[in-house]
Amino acid sequence: MAITIEIDHARTRRMAQGVGQSQGQAQARSPVRSPRSAGGPVVPQGVKGPIRRLKWLILVLTLGVYYVTPFLRWNRGPNAPGQAVLLDFAHGRLYLGPIEIWPQDLYLITAAMLLATLILVLVNALAGRLWCGFACPQTVWTDLFLLVERLVEGDRRQRLKNIGAPLSARRIAQIATKHVLWMTIALGTGGTLIFYFTDAPELVRDVMHGEMSATALTWTLAFAGTTYGLAGFAREQVCTFMCPWPRLQGAIWDPEAFTVNYRDYRGEARMSAKKAAEARSHGLPAGDCVDCGACVAVCPIGIDIRQGPSFACINCGLCVDACDGVMAKLDRPRGLIDYESWRNIERGRVGETRVSRLVRPKTVGLALACVALAAVIAVSFATKTTAVLSVQHDRDPLAVRLSDGSVRNAYTVKLLNKSAAPQSFRLALSGVDAVLAIVGHAQGALIAVEPEGSETLRVTLTMTEPRDGDVMFSAVDPSGQAVLSAHDRFVNR
């Protein structure tokens, strides 16, 4: 069954199914318009509850990881950086603890990005935009900026009063304080990001002594400006219009996923608690929703979840806390707005039993794909060597016939040492009966390669009884164990 996600989805479906009040029933109050539909600014209300506490915990953890990680150290031995996580663009390296990634290992980065995408799709199949609502950097820093705004300017009601109000000395002081704090956080964020690209303690010392390079300063200001603009002003526009993920929701939205939904079969028809009690006393239907608008007021995106699934909803669950708080005050069951599958909403409308289908072929398949890809990546990292051997056959000419009738092929052999210690190799040959010679080196000589360096060799193969065949070059360490190999062809023409 095809389902279209739109802002007024639930409203149109209720009208089609006759859900709501009939003529003569208690008159419900007019629905609260969301800031988005009204065209006004989105000014979220603060809320308390278990989901909000979880979001604060994730905010502290993610910011802690972000700000602390560049200062963690890792001993990689001499001639290697001591920073645990470092993107060394100058030397083409990515260090992640014991893992060292070179440009030749790009396939591993690609596989890791594919794994992250699969995990994101799996989470979406289980609980929608859970990443967006809890751990996305835009969400985390927006929450932090909103916290500063509430502490300085007050909660939602006061901030709404401030919009368009004449400026006073107190108001100017509030605006200045807020923006100074925002800029301080933005500069700290931009500066910390630079720490991932250079040695963090050294850069801190440069900053303290006023010796920060122009390049580092430029990038710090650029990242700080991005943080200041996106978290301070763009906010919900980033999640709705700039990020591509919401646009993909229509293609991968799963009606069995546990997303934030409104149980309209329980909440409609909306009316005040007093009118609801009066309607029930007369045997008329009355919903639990009192149309207080708390769910709309706390939404950081400014949507009304009671209108149905929306591509803009980031699944943060703040409206769940807000609604549960109202239900608790009215002594009504929690869960009018809750993490629930859309299929269960439809089952509830017709009185069917609620069914949880988190484990289903789609989620099992995605989970197995994630495990398989993670295993492949882990094995690839575990078996990754610290050296690389590459061979390139000369193209013009492919072969040279000598005066004695033998045929010679020439190759460019490159040995790359990716470790922080010097390595030595001896070239060996198999596959054809040919004489191997290395220009500038004696027969069977050891080839020394500097730490994190490379050695390019000019190699010839001469065959007295020439024939086409596959050639395997091997780089053997002094102990005689073949550690590297590369294939090519011997050409007899």
Full DSSP string of 207-248: HHTT---HHHHHHHHHHHHHHHHIIIIITHHIIIII-SHHHH
pTM of the model: 0.82
pLDDT class of 7 with cuts at 50, 70, 90: very low
pLDDT tens-digit profile of 120-129?
999 999 999 9
Q: When comparing pLDDT for 157 and 6, which is higher?
A: 157
**Residue 105 pLDDT:** 85
* CA triple 234-236-241, angle to 5 deg: 85
Q: Is the peptide bond before 269 cis (omega within 30 degrees of 0)?
A: yes
**Residue 57 pLDDT:** 97
pLDDT tens-digit profile of 418-438?
887 888 998 989 898 899 999
Taking the C-alpha atoms of residue 24 and residue 55, their distance in angstroms, rounded to an integer, is 44
For each of the domains in the chain, give its residue range(s) and CATH number, in order of start. Answer: 9-40+250-353 (no CATH), 387-490 (2.60.40.10)
**33, pLDDT greater than 60:** no
Q: How far is CA 58 from CA 157, 184, 196, 392, in A?
A: 27, 21, 21, 51
DSSP at 83: B
Query: Would strands 435-438 and 407-417 be described as parallel, antiparallel, or unpaired?
Result: unpaired
* CA triple 327-332-337, angle to 5 deg: 50
Least-confidence region, from 11-20, 143-152, 192-201, 463-472: 11-20
**Residue 463 pLDDT:** 92
**Residue 24 pLDDT:** 33
**18, pLDDT greater than 50:** no
Q: When comparing pLDDT for 222 and 3, which is higher?
A: 222
pLDDT class of 171 with cuts at 50, 70, 90: very high
Summarize the confidence of residues 443-461 as an average pLDDT: 89
pLDDT class of 38 with cuts at 50, 70, 90: low
Q: How far is CA 46 from CA 21, 51, 52, 133, 300, in A?
A: 32, 12, 9, 16, 10
pLDDT tens-digit profile of 44-69?
999 999 999 999 999 999 999 999 99
Taking the C-alpha atoms of residue 136 and residue 63, their distance in angstroms, rounded to an integer, is 11
Given phi > 0 = left and psi -120 to 50 = alpha, else beta, which region is 235?
Answer: left
**Residue 334 pLDDT:** 94
Q: Could you identify the residue written with the tokens 């009939």?
A: 22
pLDDT class of 39 with cuts at 50, 70, 90: low
Least-confidence region, from 95-99, 150-154, 239-243, 477-481: 477-481
Q: Percent of the chain, pLDDT > 90?
A: 61
Q: Tokens representing 149?
A: 């705004």
